[in-house]
Amino acid sequence: MLKLSSGSLWAGIISGGLAQLKTQNAYTNGALASNEYASQTTKNVTGAVGLIAGLEYGAILGSRFIPGVGTIVGTLIGGILGDRIGSSVGLYVGNALFDQQPPLHQLPAPHSMNQIQ
């Protein structure tokens, strides 16, 4: 089992907290509806978790190949990928859960949009 370092945990907490603060301000100012707020919150949480996991596993993989420099490079790449993937998954799940837009399997097929009725 992976033991989290305090640095990656704090990075995730700070990143997720800042993203949620921005989302909260937009909701308070009326720029987001309640379902958009819920969807963005889901994205913020999963992005933070993805960042933490990416930092940790990136460091492990980087150390495996080139100890020292590989750890730093792996941490950077893993953090970026983890944040992006976590945010994308969270946004998709949040949209599906809170009825923002239909999931991809419910979108009309491209050829059906071009037909003249």
Quote the number of domains for the chain: 1
Give the model's pLDDT for residue 66. 92
The domain containing residue 41 runs over which residues?
7-101
Output the pTM of the full model.
0.77
Q: Is 70 domain-assigned?
A: yes
61: its two tokens:
């993989």
Contacts of 33 (CB under 8 A, 6+ apart): none
**Average pLDDT, consecutive stretches of 10 residues, N- to C-terminus, the chain (117 residues):** 74 93 95 91 95 94 93 95 93 84 52 49
Give the model's pLDDT for residue 98. 85
Q: Is 109 domain-assigned?
A: no
